[in-house]
Structure 1
Amino acid sequence: MEESKNQDLIEVIMNIIINAGNAKSDAICAIRDAKKFDFESAEEKLKSAKEAELLAHAAQTKLLAKESGGQKIELSLLMVHGQDHLMNCITFNDLAGEIIDLYKTIKK
């Protein structure tokens, strides 16, 4: 039973890492497209980045709900790594939106 809980925890953490990594990658691509003044593609990639961010955040919320419900969630290096990815993707997504807007202003 304990092995199953540990495996479930690892799966949720990996979900955070993968989706947050995808979000950050999409945000970087959105910035690169905006730099080429390809705003349609930049907006599509930013939308994809936000969707991946939501998936990562939903996985984090599962862990928060379990812990607030009394289940002890083990803190591990993998967990810290996942949280780091999530916070970075949120920052990148917010920044990408601002940079896209800046490139739009420059283009005008």
Structure 2
Amino acid sequence: MENQENLQLIMGLIINGGNAKSDAMEAIHAAKVSDFELADQKLKDSDKGLVEAHHSQTSMLTAEASGEKAELSLLLIHGQDHLMNAITFRDMASEVVDVYKKMAGVAID
């Protein structure tokens, strides 16, 4: 895999993972003020960011499985860390939003 292409994929992990985490945090803040419509939208936005980050990750995994070794770098590790933290944070945000909904007497999906 070309170095520039690899860098773009890594940046996809970092940017989309970061956006997904930020959207999940915004969902919690919205739920905290009982704006559950916005909270649900922000969780959906977070999911979209995770899908985009997964596309980058899948491209790198596919290339490596095809024999194109990825250069292990601190930037790649940072990108993977962003993605894993975003996934964990998104899962927790969903639970927190549900708790706020329950406290407000709103039906949980």
The alignment's TM-score, normalised by the length of structure 1, stands at: 0.94
The aligned counterpart of 1:73 is 70
The aligned counterpart of 2:90 is 93
Instruction: Name segments (4+ residues, structure 1) moved above 3 Å.
Output: none
The aligned counterpart of 2:11 is 14
Give the length in aligned residue pairs.
Answer: 105
**Structure with more helix by fraction:** 1
The alignment's TM-score, normalised by the length of structure 2, stands at: 0.94
1:7 and 1:98 mapped to 2: Cα distance? Answer: 38
Deviations 1:6-34 (A, max 9, x none): 11100110011000000000000000000
1:90 and 1:32 mapped to 2: Cα distance? Answer: 18
Pairwise CA RMSD of aligned residues? 1.0
Aligned sequence identity (%): 52
* 1:69 shift after superposition: 1.1
Q: 1:44 aligns with which of 12, 36, 41?
A: 41
- Residue identity matched to 2:58: T
1:64 and 1:22 mapped to 2: Cα distance? Answer: 22
The aligned counterpart of 1:106 is 103
Q: Which runs of 5+ in 1 are unaligned?
A: none
- Residue identity matched to 2:61: L
Q: Which runs of 5+ in 2 are unaligned?
A: none
